[in-house]
Chain A
Amino acid sequence: MRSIFGFLYKYFQTRPTYMNWFSQLITSTIGKKLIMALTGLFLISFLIIHCTINAMIFLNDGGVTFSHWGHFMGTNPVIRTLEIGLVAGFLIHIFQGLLLIKKNRDSRPVRYQVEAPSPKSTWYSRSMGLLGTLLLLFLIMHTAHFWIPNRSNQFATGEELNLYQMMLNIFADPLIVILYVLGCISLAWHLLHGFWSAFQTLGLNHQRYNSIIHFVGTAFAIVVPLIFALMPIAIYLNWVH
């Protein structure tokens, strides 16, 4: 017994160095951004899958293909385990993002009277906090529409909901369609800066690869939100039914 206390005492007395360097890394301004970049890229990889599966509605087969894959994603044990990582990724990105917004504001307690930033700096790069907050509001609405009811129902009854039919119902409301399109627009601007920015944060800025990173980032930031935005629009206009 004594030796355990003795060990614990020593353990906390000497502050284990591995905790020291790691906590120092992730609480530094650079480490905070490292977390943003890693979770951001992880969320980007999620968007690829999410977008691909949802785009199955454009097959216009009454939701057969879409529901097949939706069922796979909703029930496969590997995917369900990865989903925990996804929720964690979102939460970490959001909390760290909000903390950074606060930290960065505190770094300039007195604002300027006149601000006329150079055109070489884009407005959306300076508005990542605003765009992120809009995305957060969108996410709350979006998960309340589909993910939360579906998972709660699975939890309560073991049955999945008919997500395809739910989409048709929800996107019959023009206001909701507009809110979804606005969400997609926020995502586009967030990614237009975020994609490239994550590479810069990771230190991956190299003349040889910069143009390809910019190209892929720009294409991704336009194509993915565009496909997403077309979903509620297509359903509202009855292209997909």
Chain B
Amino acid sequence: MKLTLKIWRQKNNNSKGEFKTYVHDHVSPDMSFLEMLDVLNEGLVKKGEEPVHFDHDCREGICGMCSLYINGRPHGPLQTTTCQLHMRSFKDGETITIEPWRAAAFPVVKDLVVDRSAFDRIQQAGGYVSVNTGGVPDGNAIPVPKKVADEAMDAAACIGCGACVAACKNASAMLFVSAKVSQYALLPQGQPERKERVEKMVAQMDEEGFGACTNTKACEAECPKSIKITNIARMNREYYSSMFTNYEVTVSGGGD
């Protein structure tokens, strides 16, 4: 396959970036999208040029590290991670535009790499449970209805890739935060911090500068782990109930 790639190049966070066009004629339809970029980079290195920087780690769709806004959609045309996207999803001779995630809360580090540590700070603000020290508790000691466990597990499938933020016209992080809130709110183990958690995580989400939710479902449509916006409704409920009924907590965000 022969492709024309329009790739966002940006030296660092302070510099102004621009699109550069590359013609790539060593593409096999069986390559993953990242392998295609590896081959491009090999060529660039051989020519003594700076390779295109992009994030990746597991390359098996479980870590959430790979990003890339491909032809107007996060992770490209399929609802997968970019590492699980293959070149057979594109046509020979196609022009592919590759951009970094765009959000005030995700500053560009270099080229296609963005800093997603805003997500880490939201997690640190409340995305945890307290556990007693001592012996390991028996498995299944606390009964949880199967359906509830499944619902919590579906929320916990979130890999924090940020595609929801990238897809949303408001760069809103609600799908991510609501998945993290839900996975604990649904389970008995998450109850002690239930109300404080949602207050703190939402406060940190706002602090980071993510947008509000217009319920456009753009996030749900792109999420590689099929997280549902029912989680956002649940987070809203959790948030109202906490704000209206919680004992006072001083919300400082706390994650830095």
Q: Which residues of A contact B (CB under 8 A)?
A: 17, 20-21, 24-25, 28-34, 100, 103-104, 106-118, 120-122, 125-126, 128, 193, 196-197, 200-205
Closest 3 CB pairs of A and B: A116-B72, A203-B237, A205-B233
Q: Mark B88-105, 1 if CB is under 8 A from A, else 0.
A: 000000000101001111
With both beta carbons as reference points, the residue of chain A lying nearest to B218 in the complex is identified as: A121
Q: Are A28 and B72 in contact (CB under 8 A)?
A: no
In the complex, chain A residues whose CB is within 8 Å of the CB of B251 = 24
Considering only CB atoms, which chain A residue lies closest to B8 in the complex? A113
Residues of A within 8 A of B244 (CB): 25
- A202 and B241 CA atoms in complex are apart in Å by 11
Given contacts A21-B243, A114-B99, A118-B73, contact A104 B212 (CB under 8 A): yes
Q: Are B230 and A121 interface neighbours, CB within 8 A? A: no
Known contacts: A24-B243, A113-B97, A205-B233. The answer to whether A106 contacts B104 by CB under 8 A is yes
The answer to whether A117 touches B218 (Cβ under 8 A) is: yes
How far apart sit A120 and B215, CA to CA, in the bound complex (Å)?
12
Assess the B73–A29 pair: CB atoms within 8 A: no
Residues in A whose Cβ lies below 8 Å from that of B41: none
Distance from A19 Cβ to chain B, minimum over Cβ atoms (Å): 12
CA distance A107 to B101 in the complex (A): 12
Which B residue's beta carbon lies closest to that of A115? B72
B170 touches A104 (CB 8 A): yes
With a CB–CB cut-off of 8 A, which chain A residues contact B97? 113-114
- Point out the residue from A31, A104, A125, A193 that lies within 8 Å of B211, measured CB to CB: A104
Residue of A nearest to B95 (CB): A114
Is B103 a contact of A120 with CB atoms below 8 Å?
no
B residues 163-218 near A (Cβ < 8 Å) are 167, 169-172, 174, 202-203, 205-206, 209-218
What per-residue 1/0 map shows which CB atoms of B216-251 lie under 8 Å from chain A? 111011100000011011111101100110101001
Contacts of B174 on A, CB cut-off 8 Å?
29
The reply to whether B102 and A111 form a contact with Cβ atoms under 8 Å apart is: yes
A32→B19 contact, CB < 8 A: no
Question: Cβ of A28 and Cβ of B206 under 8 Å apart?
Answer: yes
Can you list 13 A-B contacts (CB < 8 A)?
A: A28-B206, A28-B239, A29-B172, A29-B202, A29-B210, A30-B240, A103-B212, A104-B171, A107-B172, A112-B69, A117-B72, A203-B237, A204-B233
A200 and B215 form a contact (CB under 8 A): yes
Bound CA span A55–B251, Å: 51
Among residues of B, the one whose C-beta sits closest to the C-beta of A34 is B240
Known interface pairs A108-B103, A200-B233. Does A28 touch B203 (Cβ–Cβ under 8 Å)?
yes
> Is B12 an interface position by the 8 A CB rule?
no
Q: In angstroms, how far is the closest chain A Cβ from the Cβ of B127?
A: 17
* A197-B73 contact in complex given A107-B103, A120-B220, C-beta closer than 8 Å: no
B212 touches A29 (CB 8 A): yes
Contact present for B212 and A121 (CB under 8 Å): no
Q: Measured between C-beta atoms, what is the minimum distance from B109 to chain A in Å?
A: 14
Interface centre among A20, A103, A125, A200 (most CB of B within 10 A): A200
Known pairs A24-B251, A30-B202, A203-B240; list 7 more (Cβ under 8 Å): A24-B243, A30-B213, A107-B171, A125-B214, A126-B214, A201-B236, A203-B237
Chain B, Cβ-Cβ closest to A194: B215
CB-CB contacts below 8 Å: B87-128 with A: 97, 99, 102-105
Q: Is the Cβ of B216 less than 8 Å from the Cβ of A125?
A: yes
**Given A17-B248, A114-B97, A117-B218, CB of A25 within 8 Å of CB of B212:** no
| Contact, CB under 8 Å: B243 / A25 | yes
Bound CA span A128–B213, Å: 12
CB distance A109 to B104 under 8 Å?
yes
Which of A21, A109, A115, A193 is the one whose CB lies under 8 Å from B215? A193
Bound complex: CA of A68 vs CA of B184, how far in Å? 57
Complex CA distance for A204 and B209, rounded to whole angstroms: 26
Assess the A202–B202 pair: CB atoms within 8 A.
no
When distances are taken between beta carbons in the complex, the residues of chain B under 8 Å from A115 are 72
How far is it, in angstroms, between the C-alpha of A109 and the C-alpha of B220 when the chains are bound?
23
